[in-house]
Amino acid sequence: MRLSTMVLPLLLIAGCSQPPAPPPPRKNVFDPLTQQAARARDAQKTVDENAADTRKAIDAAERGEAPP
């Protein structure tokens, strides 16, 4: 009796706990599109950085300073 009163709450707690979540799917039909979007973002970031560098160089040339 004493053992069952200690084991019963543990069994109830274990029975009410949530099962582990399944792992996310490894591939789906949108993977090529998301990869393309990531490559496009990276390319845009490079273009933006180069544009900012060019803008800084033009501003420095207009002020008569040495380009950075």
Instruction: Please give the pLDDT value at position 67.
Output: 64
Averaged confidence pLDDT in the chain? 86
Instruction: Please give the pLDDT value at position 15.
Output: 67
Instruction: Please give the pLDDT value at position 43.
Output: 98
Q: Tokens representing 12?
A: 């109830």
Instruction: Please give the pLDDT value at position 1.
Output: 65
- Number of helices and strands in the chain (H, E): 2, 0
Q: Tokens representing 23?
A: 């792992």
List per-block mean pLDDT (blocks of 10 residues) for the chain, which spans 68 residues: 74 73 84 94 98 95 80
Instruction: Please give the pLDDT value at position 36.
Output: 96
